Amino acid sequence: MASKNINILVKIWRQNGPLAQGAFEEHALKDISTDMSFLEMIDVLNEWLTRKGLEPIAFDHDCREGICGMCGAMVNGTAHGPDKETTLCQLHMRRFKDGDTIVIEPFRTQGFPIVKDLIIDRSALDRIIAAGGFVSVNTGSPQDGNTILIPQHVAEQAMDAAACIGCGACAAACPNGSAMLFASAKVSQLALLPQGQQEAKKRAINMVLQMDKDGFGNCSNHRECENVCPKGITIRNIARLNREFMKGSFAIDH
């Protein structure tokens, strides 16, 4: 598609600090190339703000190629914007039309306090990982690659779950502010493989309890999460977590 320039109106959330009162700020942007990524559009806005001597918009980003999980915001009410399986950095301005108003808000949920503007504190996800998202067997020196044989379809499923980049879009999009899709992906990637199965039951319990402690909500099976996940992680993983938690609750030996 040939590139062209569009004029847009950006309605963006500004908030000075975690406890500060936030509000929307409007900026009319002219001549935005449709070849720009969404974050480049914010870069342009920030350069303009800086030249004016105003405070630039704070937003998280790192790789800008959709694999790190740092970026993310609600674009017109949808986490990571309107494209499926796309992070915010991979969303492009060609997705918008001349004259569009774009509303940009930070990911909101009780578990993610706002740090500043669009930056949120996602350390709750790290605490869920720390509660059980690991394998605590002594691995010793590296084994030969194929000593533990894993069928291809199992490896694929584990890899699909492991594709989670922890961006938090699932919890942000969830009407209940639940991080079940995240927790279920982290439980699944290990529960599917022999090395992770030993601790699967205990892991499921510890991660769910930590998720509750951090103020995330309860899953109502709305399926919003899987529809905004930039890595296409499905709620089949949530069903697996539900099974693992049940086994852990009713059939654990210690």
Partner 1 sequence: MTWFIQTFKSSLGKKYIMAITGLMLGSFLVVHAIGNSSIFWGREAFNAYAHHLHSLGIFVTFFEIGLYSIFFLHVITAFYLFFENRKARGGRYEVWTSAGGVTWGSRTMPYTGIAIFLFILIHMANFHFVEKTEVFTISDYVTKVLTNPAYTLLYLVGLGMLLLHISHGFWSLLQTLGISHPKYDEPLRIVAWAIAAIMGAIFILVTLLMVVSRNQLL
Where do contacts with partner 1 occur on this chain (CB under 8 A)?
A: 11, 13, 24, 74, 76-79, 84, 103, 105, 108-112, 173, 175-178, 205, 208-209, 211-212, 215-228, 235-236, 238-243, 245-246, 249-250, 252
Between 50 and 221, CB nearer to partner 1? 221
CA torsion sign for 79, 80, 81, 86 is negative
* Nearest approach, Cβ of residue 2 and partner 1 (Å): 28
Between 39 and 235, CB nearer to partner 1? 235
∠ Cα 28 114 214 (to 5°):
150
* Nearest approach, Cβ of residue 212 and partner 1 (Å): 5
* Nearest approach, Cβ of residue 11 and partner 1 (Å): 8
Between 69 and 81, CB nearer to partner 1? 81
Between 30 and 232, CB nearer to partner 1? 232
Between 49 and 209, CB nearer to partner 1? 209
* Nearest approach, Cβ of residue 217 and partner 1 (Å): 3
* Nearest approach, Cβ of residue 205 and partner 1 (Å): 8
